[in-house]
Amino acid sequence: MVIKVFLATSSGSTAIKKKQQDVLGFLEALKIEYAQLDIASNEENRMWMRENVPGEKKPANGIPLPPQIFNEENYCGDYDTFFDAKEENSVYEFLGLTPPPGFKKMDQEEEDIQGEDNLVSEEEEELRQLEEEEAEED
């Protein structure tokens, strides 16, 4: 199975470029085989992507923006759903792939602990910023 990432190589949008790079970089880091399909220079790719993104997943204007991700012919999602899967440590499920041997998905307790660690980090960051602001005022 090959993951297909539909993207626009000549997009003028820095946000789209960043999202595309994020998806490709993450797939490369996990050593997941994928194919890049350009919708900017290939009309067939553009039409196939538009026709195969499910209706409920299309934006109000009906034209889905890249990156759009498929496992062969099966729609996986767009950048936002990919990002959510990445955050939930469920990218393999999102992509419809079997995780490699030794891959351990965090259980709920580990996720809760990690979430608490993130809260502590956020509180520490806020405290550091307040201390910096107070130092600047002096």
CA distance 129 to 133: 6
8-31 residue pLDDT tens: 998 888 999 999 999 999 999 999
CA distance 61 to 67: 16
**What are the structural domain ranges in the chain?**
3-95, 106-138
**Token pair of 5 as six digits:** 């990432």
50-85 residue pLDDT tens: 999 999 888 888 889 999 999 999 999 999 999 999
What CATH class has 3-95?
alpha beta
**Token pair of 4 as six digits:** 């297909």
Helices (H), 31-107: 43-52, 79-87, 91-95
pTM to 2 decimals?
0.73
